[in-house]
Amino acid sequence: MSLTKFHITEKAAIKEYYDSHGYVVIEGLLNSSKILNFLNSYEKIKHSKFFVFFSQDTHLPTQPKLTPEGFIENSMLYPASLKLWRKFALSVEECLVDESVTNALTILSGASNHVMMQNMFFDKSTGTIEHQDHYYLDSNPPGQMVAAWYSLEDIHEDAGCFFVLPGSHKGKVIERDSGSNFSDHDTFVKQINTLIHEGNYEYRSFPLKKGDVLFWHPYTIHGAHTNQDPRFSRKSLTAHYYPAHLQTLYSRKASADRKTAPKTRKTVNPTVTILGSEWDTYVSNSLHYLRFISNHLRGRGPDYDMRRASYSEQK
Ligand SMILES: O=C(O)CCC(=O)C(=O)O
Ligand SMILES: [Fe+2]
């Protein structure tokens, strides 16, 4: 099936498609020199004995484990905050705040300034379970966050493609009990499966081309298929942004009570900041090392897991 893609100049059509389907693809949005710069710095860190990152799929601090084909098994959470690895973190940031991307965000959100609240890197598909991002993070008022999935290579159909369930953003939204610290995650996974069953939604997969970017709504159900052929990587970045005049949902109670704006840091693009101060990035990056060692000594497991292989009833 051919995929509908837009050019960044088709502003009205982009917004209309996003509002009605809950996602939109803009082709060739990210230029290849930024992608190349990222891939070069990635090749360096992935072979480092000292590189520790927080794994997005298993929710644990991890060292790169390479497949026989040379791809990192785990996905990275917050690669733009790994400031102990400056060049790598900067190369991620330069992709995620590219002017072409912020132009697209403005078309979708109507805002001229945005805050990036999360980012991820996948070398290969980790088979992400079906979910609505709203359960994990969103803007406050909710529903205004915009997520983006960046294709860093031509993605093969068997690479474990990212997928969305078009129109699912218009259905029921599953809320998180914000005090639960994700202890209701298993219930959430079941509730999403019920929604999919009841809504009889189509799964639309995206074997996108290098530089294409897919934007989706925080209520849209999405995930990724399991890799079907270990020769194919699925190099991709993702990021979640909210309009700068709004707040974040589920923000820590203390800062919500004080009504203080969350700390943010500047980026190379004046219209985007990133949640968390410069100092926070060094602290969190250093904590990955401490937690990595302490988990190793205590045999501690994750709070929750994003891989479909960990949920036996998932396909
Ligand atoms: O790329 C994936 O496998 C999942 C990414 C995702 O769900 C997200 O960034 O919100
Ligand atoms: Fe997601």
DSSP per-residue codes, 183-209: TTHHHHHHHHHHHHHHHTPPPEE--PP
Query: What SS3 state is found at 269?
Result: coil
Please say whether the beta carbons of 66 and 124 come within 8 A. no
- Which two structure tokens, joined as six digits, stand for 90? 């900067």
In the DSSP assignment, the letter for residue 241 is E
Question: What was the pLDDT predicted at 251?
Answer: 73
Ligand 1 pocket mutation pick from 151, 162, 306 by most atoms within 8 angstroms of CB: 162
For 246, residues 6+ apart whose C-beta sits below 8 A from its C-beta are: 139, 140, 141, 144
Amino acid at 262: P
Residue-level pLDDT at 315: 43
What confidence score (pLDDT) does residue 75 get?
Answer: 94
Nearest listed ligand to the Cα of residue 76: 1
> How many residues belong to the chain?
315
Ligand 2 midpoint to CA 197 (Å):
19
Residues of the chain under the 70 pLDDT cut: 1, 252-259, 300-304, 312-315
Element (H, E) at 91: helix 86-96
Ligand 1 pocket by C-beta < 6 Å: which residues?
120, 122, 128, 133, 147, 162, 222, 224, 236, 238
Nearest to 168 by CA among 117, 216, 127, 124: 216
Q: Judge whether 239 and 116 are in contact, CB under 8 Å.
A: yes
Q: Could you identify the atom of ligand 1 that is nearest to the CA of residue 239? A: 9
Q: Are 92 and 235 in contact (CB under 8 A)?
A: no
Answer yes or no: are the C-beta atoms of 184 and 221 closer than 8 Å.
no
pLDDT of residue 122: 97
User: With respect to CATH, is domain 11-303 assigned 2.60.120.620?
Assistant: yes
Every domain of the chain and the residues it spans: 11-303
User: Residue with the nearest Cα to atom 10 of ligand 1?
Assistant: 133
Ligand 2 ion: nearby residues, β-carbon < 5 Å:
133
**Three-state DSSP class for residue 23:** strand
Which residue puts its alpha carbon closest to atom 6 of ligand 1? 223
How high is the pLDDT of residue 302? 62
Q: Which atom from ligand 1 is nearest to the alpha carbon of 234? A: 1
H or E segment and range at residue 117: strand 114-122
- Ligand 1: which of 149, 188, 304 to mutate, judged by most atoms within 8 Å of the beta carbon? 149
